[in-house]
């Protein structure tokens, strides 16, 4: 069982695209958890709160940028469609 947990930890903490299927990569946010492992089921409440805060901060940094790029792409497509009809 210990080897299985080590293998799971390796996959879950790897910051590499090779572990995420291509179709999901564009929707993946990499969260640098430092020394904390997201698959450590025996971590303290403090470590859980720290892990949550790191993930939350990362999401707040990334999501507005992603939404901006989606909005820009939609706007550009509307302009193209409008120009095309003219």
Give residue 39's domain range: 2-85
Sign of the alpha-carbon torsion through 61, 64, 70, 73: negative
How many Å apart are CA 34 and CA 13, to the nearest integer? 9
Q: Are 29 and 54 in contact (CB under 8 A)?
A: no
**Nearest Cα residue to 33 out of 11, 14, 61:** 14
Q: List CB contacts of 17: < 8 A, sequence separation 6 or more.
A: 25
How would you write the pLDDT of the chain (86 residues) with one tens digit per residue? 666 656 666 666 555 556 677 788 777 888 888 888 777 788 899 999 998 999 999 989 988 888 887 777 777 776 555 555 54
Compute the half-sphere exposure of residue 35: CA atoms within 13 Å on the CB side of its CA: 2
* pTM of the complete model: 0.58
Domain count across the chain: 1
């Amino acid at each position: 069982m210990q080897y299985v947990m080590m293998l799971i930890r390796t996959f879950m903490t790897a910051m590499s695209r090779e572990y995420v299927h291509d179709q999901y990569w564009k929707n993946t946010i990499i969260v640098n958890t430092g020394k904390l492992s997201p698959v450590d089921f025996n971590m303290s409440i403090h470590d859980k709160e720290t892990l949550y805060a790191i993930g939350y901060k990362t999401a707040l940094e990334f999501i507005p940028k992603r939404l901006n790029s989606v909005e820009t792409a939609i706007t550009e497509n509307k302009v193209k469609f409008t120009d095309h009809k003219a």
